[in-house]
Structure 1
Amino acid sequence: MTSTVHTLQDQFRHLRMVETANELPELLRNAERSSWTYQEFLQELLMYELKRREEKNVEKRLKWAKFPYLKTLDEFHVEEQKSLSTRQLNQLRELNWLEQQYNLILLGPPGAGKTHIGIGLGIEAIQKGYKVAFSTMGELVHLLKTEEYIRKSQMQLKRIKESDLVIIDDLMYMAMDQREANLFFHLINHLYERSSIILTSNKGPEQWGELMGDQGITTAILDRLLHRVEVIQLNDNDSYRIKHRTTIFGKESVQN
């Protein structure tokens, strides 16, 4: 590379256009091969910088979300769910409900695909510029109980409270004491009309009172969650997770 190219790269880096600086030699070669005009070259250069910046922003938002794994909606076999049509899933992935701060409650037995749908919608939201946070209910309760004296918990809860979409997985998988229920209520109250929430649970809202042990707190939580909500009951046929598991034997059937 010539000293002029090195100088240009340094200038781009000074302007914080790091991606363009790194790619500049290749962009110049493409311009020469394709006989780009000055305007075409400038357009390609700026498009490259914008594309790389957005890719890095998506990577940052994915890291921020703290998903346990990445599963997209394209990987979800919606045809196996009688309770959710392809049209409905496509409507959900348009994210109009997120713009209107609706909540989603995904109900169904273990392995029905609730978490997959939640993560898939979270990834869709991230790709459209939203901040998303994922937490299991167990992790969330731990954060709430230790917020006062553990800085890491404070930072994690700050991340959750600043998100546009909060996904809480395995809600009500275990009973909560009154203090835990009260802490959870205050979080839901903070998120109310600030963020959308996706909840997954194998128990319906009518059972939550028994697990929280305080009907008053349960009513207050439900009042906020159900104000604007779509409840989706996934079917209880053969486990989605079992059907689409990774196996030792591939697609061969196991016979005695």
Structure 2
Amino acid sequence: MSEATMELKSVFSALQLTAAAGALDELLMEAETRQWSYRQCLQRVLSYELKKREEKQFARRYKRAAFPELKTLDEFRVDEQPSLGQRQLQQLRELMWLEQHYNLLFLGPPGVGKTHLAIGLGVEALNQGYSVSFVTMDQLLHLLKTQEISRNAQLRVNRIIRSDLVILDDLMFMALDRQEAHLFFQLINKLYGQASIILTSNKGPEDWGELLGDPAVTTAILDRILHRSEVIHLTGDSYRLQMQAGLWRFKYR
């Protein structure tokens, strides 16, 4: 390694261009092989640094999103979902609803792709630079009830509140007591108008009252969630049951 290259690496490191510094030898060899001009070489080096920073930022945002698994919209079998067409899926992918702080409610029986669709849209949002938080309803209630005594819970709740998109999975699958209902309302109230929310549930809003218990809290939550929202009812047979049946037939054919 020449002294000039070492000095360049030192300067890059001082400027916190760490990715470019680490790949400088390779980049300079490529520049010599392709006979780049000084301008082309500089552009390539800076583009490399920018790309690596964007990859790190995405990895950081993805980790903080806390998805249970990676699901993409390209993997979503829209042809097997009679209530959602390709055109509507493309409109959701464009994220205009997120820019305008609209909420999405994916309702339907278990296994029809509600969580897959929610995660897929969350990944699209991450790709476009938005911050996303995914949390199931039981996880959320635990966080809300322990945030006063647990620093980790407090940090997670604060991260959820600061997110551009919050995905609440399996909403209303269980009845809430009075304290839980009020804590849930407080969170929804903080998110209202500041973030978009995607909710997945096998129960429609008309059934939430009996699970929340308090009529006043139920009305307040519904008012904030349903204002500026789109409700999408997913139907059809369970994907999971279809897959299990397919595996069973493959195993015993």
TM-score, normalised with respect to structure 2: 0.96
> Helix, strand or coil for the counterpart of 2:174?
coil
Is the 1:113–1:241 contact (alpha carbons within 8 Å) kept by the matching residues of 2? no
Q: Name the structure 2 match of 1:111.
A: 111
Distance 1:24 1:247, change over 3 A: farther
The whole-number CA distance in structure 2 between the counterparts of 1:190 and 1:110 is: 29
> Aligned runs of 1:82-97 on 2, under 5 Å?
82-97=82-97
SS at match of 2:250: coil
Whether 1:220 and 2:220 are equivalent positions in the alignment is yes
Residue in 2 aligned with 1:172?
A: 172
Return the structure number with greater helix share. Answer: 2
Shift of residue 254, structure 1, vs aligned partner = 3.7
Q: Unpaired runs of 5+ in structure 1? A: none
* Superposed CA offset, 1:178-206 (max 9, x none): 11001100100000000000000000000
Q: State how far apart, in whole Å, the 2-side matches of 1:172 and 1:128 are.
A: 30
| Counterpart residue type for residue 48 of structure 2 | Y
Cα deviation for residue 246 of structure 1 reads: 10
Identity in percent: 57
Provide closer, same or farther for how the CA distance between residues 175 and 12 of structure 1 changes in structure 2, counting only shifts above 3 A. Answer: same
* Equivalent-residue separation in structure 2 for 1:248 and 1:208 (angstroms): 36
Name the SS for the 2:157 alignment partner. Answer: helix
- Please report the RMSD computed on the Cα atoms of aligned residues, expressed in angstroms: 1.5
Q: Hey, what's the Cα distance between the residues in 1 that align with 2:244 and 2:252?
A: 14
In the aligned structure 1, how far is the partner of 2:23 from the partner of 2:7? Answer: 14
Quote the offset at 1:8 in angstroms.
1.1
- Flag the 1:246–1:10 CA change in 2: closer, same or farther, 3 A: farther
Tell me the secondary structure at the aligned position of residue 203 of structure 1. Answer: coil
Equivalent residues in 2 for 1:1-256 (5 A)? Answer: 1-235=1-235, 237-244=236-243, 252=250, 254=252
Q: What are the Cα deviations for residues 46-99 of structure 1, in whole angstroms up to 9, with x where unaligned?
A: 111111111111000001101111111111111110100111111101101000
Deviation at 1:242, TM superposition (A): 2.9
Three-state SS of the structure 2 residue aligned to 1:252 is helix
Hey, what's the Cα distance between the residues in 2 that align with 1:213 and 1:117? Answer: 29
> What TM-score do the two structures reach when normalised by structure 1?
0.95
